[in-house]
Amino acid sequence: MERVKAFAPATVANMGVGFDVLGMAVEGIGDYVTVEKTDKPGIEMVDIVGDAGRLSRDPKKNTAMIAAQSVLNMLDIRQGVRLWLEKGLPLASGMGSSAASAVAAAVATNTLFGEPLGREDLLPAVLDAEEIVSGRHADNVAPALLGGIVLITGLSAAEIHRLPVPAGLHISLVTPGVEVPTAAARAVLPQLVPLSVMVHQTGVIAELIHGLHRGDIHLMAMAMQRDAIVEPARESLIPYLAQMRLLATECGALVTIISGSGPTVCSICASHEDAEVVNQAIREAYHQNGLSSTGYVTVPSIRGAYIVEPAASA
Amino acid sequence: MERVKAFAPATVANMGVGFDVLGMAVEGIGDYVTVEKTDKPGIEMVDIVGDAGRLSRDPKKNTAMIAAQSVLNMLDIRQGVRLWLEKGLPLASGMGSSAASAVAAAVATNTLFGEPLGREDLLPAVLDAEEIVSGRHADNVAPALLGGIVLITGLSAAEIHRLPVPAGLHISLVTPGVEVPTAAARAVLPQLVPLSVMVHQTGVIAELIHGLHRGDIHLMAMAMQRDAIVEPARESLIPYLAQMRLLATECGALVTIISGSGPTVCSICASHEDAEVVNQAIREAYHQNGLSSTGYVTVPSIRGAYIVEPAASA
pLDDT tens figures, B7-20:
999 999 999 999 99
Put simply, the answer to whether A195 touches B191 (Cβ < 8 Å) is yes
On whether the CB atoms of residues A270 and A3 are closer than 8 A, the answer is no
Based on the fold, state whether residues B32 and B110 are members of the same structural domain: yes
pLDDT at A5: 98
pLDDT at A313: 58
pLDDT at A314: 47
pLDDT at B252: 97
Coil/strand/helix, residue B122: helix
CA-nearest residue to A229 within chain B is: B195
Based on the fold, state whether residues A58 and A137 are members of the same structural domain: yes
B interface mutation test: which of A22, A163, A195 has the most B CBs within 10 A? A195
Residues of A in contact with B192 (CB under 8 A): 192-195
pLDDT at B132: 87
pLDDT at B314: 47
pLDDT at B313: 59
* Residue A232 in domain: yes
The total of structural domains in chain A comes to 2
Q: Which of A17, A19, A163 sits opposite B210 (nearest CB)?
A: A163
Based on the fold, state whether residues A84 and A142 are members of the same structural domain: yes
The whole-model pTM stands at 0.96
Based on the fold, state whether residues B19 and B158 are members of the same structural domain: yes
pLDDT at B1: 65
CA-nearest residue to A22 within chain B is: B203
Q: Which of B159, B191, B210 sits opposite A151 (nearest CB)?
A: B210
Distance CA(B208)–CA(B163), nearest Å, equals 11
Based on the fold, state whether residues A11 and A154 are members of the same structural domain: yes
Domain with A268 in it: what CATH number? Answer: 3.30.70.890
CA-nearest residue to B213 within chain A is: A213
Whole-number Cα distances in Å, A174 to A40, A282, B73, B203, B241: 42, 7, 52, 27, 52
Based on the fold, state whether residues A142 and A189 are members of the same structural domain: no
User: pLDDT by residue (tens digit) across B281-299?
Assistant: 999 999 999 999 999 999 9
Q: Which of B151, B199, B226 sits opposite A210 (nearest CB)?
A: B151
Q: Which of A213, A222, A226 sits opposite B213 (nearest CB)?
A: A213
Question: What is the DSSP annotation of B10-29?
Answer: EEEESTTT-TTTEEEEEEEE
Residues of B in contact with A186 (CB under 8 A): none
Residue type, A180: V
Based on the fold, state whether residues B34 and B145 are members of the same structural domain: yes
Distance CA(B145)–CA(B42), nearest Å, equals 23
Put simply, the answer to whether B193 touches A192 (Cβ < 8 Å) is yes
CA-nearest residue to B160 within chain A is: A207
* Residue B31 in domain: yes
Residues of B in contact with A158 (CB under 8 A): 222
H-assigned helices in chain B: 63-75, 97-112, 123-134, 141-146, 182-187, 195-214, 217-224, 230-234, 241-250, 272-288
Based on the fold, state whether residues A22 and A65 are members of the same structural domain: yes
Based on the fold, state whether residues B123 and B262 are members of the same structural domain: no
Based on the fold, state whether residues A187 and A245 are members of the same structural domain: yes
Range of the domain at A102: 3-163+301-309
Residues of chain A in Cβ contact (below 8 Å) with chain B: 17-22, 151-154, 158-159, 161, 163, 189-195, 197-210, 213, 222-223, 226, 229
Q: Which of B189, B203, B209 sits opposite A210 (nearest CB)?
A: B209
Domain with B72 in it: what CATH number? Answer: 3.30.230.10
On whether the CB atoms of residues A94 and A264 are closer than 8 A, the answer is yes
Residues of chain A with pLDDT under 50: 314
The complex's ipTM?
Answer: 0.95
Q: Which of B152, B163, B192 sits opposite A203 (nearest CB)?
A: B152
Q: How far is B154 from chain A (nearest CA, A)?
A: 9
CA-nearest residue to A164 within chain B is: B210
Residues of chain B with pLDDT under 70: 1, 312-314
* Residue B178 in domain: yes
CA-nearest residue to B204 within chain A is: A153
pLDDT at B217: 97
